[in-house]
């Protein structure tokens, strides 16, 4: 049997492709190596109700996978470190039906028009291969609008002065602002910044048969117990409802099969451990920017850039202790953002010049609170003072924080390849991440960190502190591993087969019935979360096929 | 009766947990909250069917809805492999040693509690603290689990009746009630 398309990965990219292709009448098989806790196993056009407000299950016990004991990755900062310095959990997004969409708190900003042409606008950077994208904002805008409707995005058009033009309003109005965010947004405004309600893929009103978010607060890192988050369950349910989609969970793809310059399908290993072949006219790979290049390398794809230019976001974190309760445990984890630190100003241009760099860019700044009680307890000491400290709740109760998702430049040495010895439980080589920030990221972080702390002081903080991820310590410390899960850029898109692996529609130059439909194709990382844009590119790629 | 630990080990564990989170005016200590049962339940998770690894959803019943947390999820064969490796260690089994031997939690607890010693429960609190502090690696392992048992969902055996949440003013799993927009924006 041959299907029209086999889709590897059921996250936002694969789900979007499945939605578009099945709507056009294609038969698709979606292969997902993780478990299905998202769709009702008896009727996959309906949701399952396995998610819950349970910190142990989601934060401490890998409910959404991957479990690093059976699906580890390895890490080093540079090849000078040796084969690896760490084995375990590295940059993991969930391995589960729904992929990274299940655990995200659903902030889905668009990129700005300028993000697609940094080389033309700003020029090159030393050591990095900054390039323009082969698509621009205007080409993507209709697909941005389509994906926003598909997943259900709540937002306020016009609130962000740096946003690109929109062809229409957001599908829903913004949801309730978090208490702390109302104060941090006001403080940021007083200092001349431009905070705005975060475009969020969580329903503010009932939408598409799913209920409005009820602000439970277990949002980032958690699956939504009531499915008010639409990404990507909305697309998966719609694809399943056509009757033309098949979902194989707990099924691993060890290789894409090729005959000459065409893919013929994929080999799969199901939960029974038996390997078989699924023939397909098209192979769509949407396994994420780490597992996608791993699969291409396991399949023997030969292109020197497969796995190169891995980007995460360089996170600059500022925390302030407020003399009032911040109520960070109520609401959608983050309800406000500001983009001023992406755009830059005279001060950032002076900082770049002083460091001998042509330019620096920071990233989106998320306004958020302090977390849940197990996390807080682990950060506080044990012993005599523990109970009173927990009752006072210096972190959960009183911290307000900013995370700047700093733009991370594409360096050829930052990459994914196959670890020479470490294997997963199925016996296949795991992905090895080689990553360290460049001077651009460090200079931008140093420049913006005190400015973030100044906003917290303006809020009335008793004290403020700053840090970053990766940390600035030595290469073998755990802090060298980035906390960011915004993995991007390992199967670069472009027009020239010598400097890119896929074309502007995600098709591999060397096998044009293989389409990459995830953030692997990103040319630059921008300062924005990748989800909406990767789903938008997947929608555009799928429309181009049908 | 503990599920996996011996009675003696359970007594040593209880004393160590209570030293980490002692009873206070603010609320119960680790023992009254059931933290040793949380840890014993993790070490003996495979004594239950399904194993007590992941509580179910979508609600606990504490704010309405059904008591879904009480139904634990069945594990897939890959989940079971991972959790048996984590809890039992690789035990020399080739299917668990694809990247070399793994020391499980059971062995780490058995060794750590033996090192704390059978006299540990009878020491005075300062001596208990000092002995625990001298065993940095074991204390770090134990403290992580103490935090989970104390402040996690009661269905895992600790935080008895939500007593630890009440002591710190945390409302716990609030589905299906959630919070109103006014409670979020103007608490």
CATH code for the domain defined by A178-221+314-406+437-469: 3.30.410
User: Does residue B38 form part of some domain?
Assistant: yes
Best mutation target, B32, B86, B147, to test chain A (most A CBs within 10 A): B147
pLDDT at position A472: 79
Measured distance CA(A88)–CA(B159) in Å, rounded? 30
Whether the CB of B73 is below 8 Å from some CB of chain A: the reply is yes
What's the whole-model pTM score?
0.98
Helix (H, G, I), strand (E, B) or coil at A491: coil
Q: How far apart are the two ends of chain B, measured CA to CA in Å?
A: 44
> Which string of DSSP letters, residue by residue, matches A10-51?
-SHHHHHHHHHHHHTT--EEEE-SSB--SB-SS-TTSB----
Burial class (CB in 10 A: 0-12, 13-18, 19+), A13: buried
The residue in chain B having the minimum alpha-carbon distance to the alpha carbon of residue A324 is B187
* pLDDT attached to residue A371: 87
Q: Please report whether residue B77 resides in a domain.
A: yes
Cβ under 8 Å to B: A residues 41-60? 49-57, 60
**Structural domain of B121:** 7-185
Digit-by-digit pLDDT tens for chain A (546 residues) are 799 999 999 999 999 999 999 999 999 999 999 999 999 999 999 999 999 999 999 999 999 999 999 999 999 999 999 999 999 999 999 999 999 999 888 999 999 999 999 999 999 999 999 999 999 999 999 999 999 999 999 999 999 999 999 999 999 999 999 999 999 999 999 999 999 999 999 999 999 999 999 999 999 999 999 999 999 999 999 999 999 999 999 999 999 999 999 999 999 999 999 999 999 999 999 999 999 999 999 999 999 999 999 999 999 999 999 999 999 999 999 999 999 999 999 999 999 999 999 999 999 999 998 789 999 999 999 999 999 999 999 999 999 999 999 999 999 999 999 999 999 999 999 999 999 999 999 999 999 999 999 999 999 999 999 999 999 777 888 899 999 999 999 999 999 999 999 999 999 999 999 999 999 999 999 999 999 999 999 999 999 999
Positive/negative CA dihedral, A517, A523, A529, A533: negative
**DSSP 3-state assignment of A432?**
strand
Q: Suggest the residue from A387, A391, A422, A424 to mutate for an interface test with chain B (most B CBs closer than 10 A).
A: A387
Q: What's the number of CA atoms in the CB half-sphere (13 Å) around residue A299?
A: 27
Question: B54: exposed, middle or buried (C-beta count within 10 Å: 0-12, 13-18, 19+)?
Answer: buried
In chain A, domain spans:
1-51+93-152+230-313+409-417+487-546, 178-221+314-406+437-469
State the DSSP code for A44: T
* HSE toward the beta carbon, residue A445, CA cutoff 13 A: 24
**Segment B57-110, tens digit of pLDDT:** 999 999 999 999 999 999 999 999 999 999 999 999 999 999 999 999 999 999
Q: What is the pLDDT of residues B146-157, one digit of tens each?
A: 999 999 999 999
Cis? peptide before A66, omega within 30° of 0: yes
B 77-116: CB under 8 A from A:
77-79, 81-83, 85-86, 95, 98-99, 102
First-last CA distance in chain A: 20
Q: By the 8 A CB rule, do A210 and A326 touch? A: no
Residues of B in contact with A51 (CB under 8 A): 57-58
Which CATH superfamily is A1-51+93-152+230-313+409-417+487-546 part of?
A: FAD/NAD(P)-binding domain (3.50.50.60)
* Predicted pLDDT of residue A476: 82
In a domain, B2, yes or no: no
Find the angle CA(B176)-CA(A11)-CA(A157) to the nearest 5 degrees. 70
Mean pLDDT of B169-173: 97
- pLDDT of A163 reads 97
Residues of chain A positioned with their CB less than 8 A from the CB of B175? 52-53, 214, 216, 218, 225-226
CA distance A260 to A377: 57
Which residues, in sequence order, are bridge partners of residue A275?
A269
Residue B1 lies in a domain: no
Instruction: Please enumerate in sequence order all residues whose Cβ is within 8 A of that of A142, keeping only pairs 6 or more positions apart, or say none.
Output: A167
Q: What pLDDT score was predicted for residue A477? A: 86
Tokens coding B90: 């690789």
């Amino acid at each position: 049997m041959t299907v029209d398309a086999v889709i590897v990965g059921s996250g936002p990219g694969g789900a979007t492709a499945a939605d578009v292709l099945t709507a056009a009448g294609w038969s698709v098989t979606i292969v997902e190596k993780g478990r299905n806790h998202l769709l009702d196993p008896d009727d996959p056009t309906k949701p399952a109700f396995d998610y819950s407000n349970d910190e142990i299950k989601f934060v401490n016990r890998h409910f959404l996978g991957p479990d690093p004991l059976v699906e580890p990755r390895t890490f080093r900062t540079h090849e000078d470190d040796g084969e690896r310095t760490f084995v375990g959990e590295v940059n993991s997004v969930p391995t589960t039906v729904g992929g990274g969409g299940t655990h995200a708190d659903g902030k889905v900003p668009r990129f700005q028009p300028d993000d697609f042409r940094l080389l033309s606008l700003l020029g090159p950077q030393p050591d990095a291969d900054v390039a323009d994208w082969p698509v621009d904002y205007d080409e993507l805008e209709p697909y941005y609008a389509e994906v926003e409707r598909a997943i259900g995005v709540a937002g306020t058009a016009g609130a962000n002065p740096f946003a690109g033009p929109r062809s229409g309003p957001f599908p829903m109005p913004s949801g309730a602002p978090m208490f702390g965010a109302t104060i941090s947004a006001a403080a940021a405004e007083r200092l001349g910044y431009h905070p705005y309600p975060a475009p969020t893929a969580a329903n503010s009103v009932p939408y598409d048969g799913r209920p409005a978010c009820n602000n439970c607060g277990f949002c980032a890192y958690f699956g939504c117990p009531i499915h008010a988050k639409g990404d990507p369950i909305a697309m998966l349910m719609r694809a399943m409802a056509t009757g033309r989609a098949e979902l194989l969970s707990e099924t691993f793809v060890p290789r894409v099969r090729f005959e000459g310059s065409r893919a013929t399908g994929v080999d799969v290993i199901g939960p029974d451990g038996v390997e078989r072949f699924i023939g397909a006219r098209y192979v769509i790979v949407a396994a994420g920017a780490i597992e996608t290049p791993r699969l291409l390398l396991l399949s023997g794809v030969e292109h020197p850039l497969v796995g190169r230019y891995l980007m995460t976001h360089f996170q600059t974190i500022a925390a302030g202790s407020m003399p009032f309760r911040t109520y960070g445990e109520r609401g959608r984890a983050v309800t406000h953002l500001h983009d001023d630190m992406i755009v830059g100003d005279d001060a950032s241009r002076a900082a770049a010049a002083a460091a001998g760099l042509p330019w620096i860019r920071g990233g989106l700044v998320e306004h958020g609170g302090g977390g849940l009680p197990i996390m807080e307890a682990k950060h506080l000491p044990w012993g005599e003072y523990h109970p009173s400290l927990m009752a006072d709740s210096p972190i959960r109760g009183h911290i307000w924080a900013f995370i700047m998702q700093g733009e991370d430049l594409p360096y050829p040495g930052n990459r994914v390849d196959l670890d020479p010895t470490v294997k997963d439980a199925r016996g296949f080589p795991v992905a090895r991440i080689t990553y360290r920030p460049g001077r651009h990221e460090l200079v931008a972080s140093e420049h913006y960190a005190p400015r973030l702390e100044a906003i917290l002081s303006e809020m009335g903080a008793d004290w403020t502190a700053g840090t970053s991820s990766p940390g600035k310590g030595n290469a073998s410390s755990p802090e060298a591993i980035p906390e960011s899960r915004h993995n991007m850029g390992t199967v670069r898109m472009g027009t020239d087969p010598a400097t890119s692996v896929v074309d502007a529609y995600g098709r591999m130059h060397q096998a044009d019935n293989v389409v990459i439909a995830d953030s692997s194709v990103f040319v630059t990382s921008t300062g924005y979360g990748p989800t909406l844009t990767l789903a938008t590119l997947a929608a555009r790629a799928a429309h181009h096929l049908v | 009766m503990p599920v996996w630990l011996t009675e003696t080990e359970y007594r040593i564990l209880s004393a160590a947990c209570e030293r980490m989170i002692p009873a206070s005016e603010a609320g119960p200590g680790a023992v009254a909250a059931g933290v040793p049962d949380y840890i014993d339940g993790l070490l003996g998770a495979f004594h239950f069917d399904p194993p007590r690894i992941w509580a179910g959803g979508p609600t606990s019943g504490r704010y309405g809805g059904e008591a879904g947390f009480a139904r634990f999820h069945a594990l897939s064969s890959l989940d079971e492999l991972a959790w048996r490796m984590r809890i039992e260690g690789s035990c020399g089994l080739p299917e668990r040693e694809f990247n070399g031997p793994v020391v499980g939690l059971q062995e780490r607890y058995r060794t750590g509690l033996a090192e704390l010693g059978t006299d540990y429960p009878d020491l005075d609190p300062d001596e208990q603290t000092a002995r625990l502090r001298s065993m940095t690696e074991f204390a770090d392992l134990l403290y992580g689990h103490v935090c989970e048992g104390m402040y996690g969902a009661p269905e895992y055996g600790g935080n008895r009746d939500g007593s630890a949440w009440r002591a710190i003013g945390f409302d716990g799993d609030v589905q299906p009630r959630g919070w109103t927009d006014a409670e979020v924006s103007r608490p």
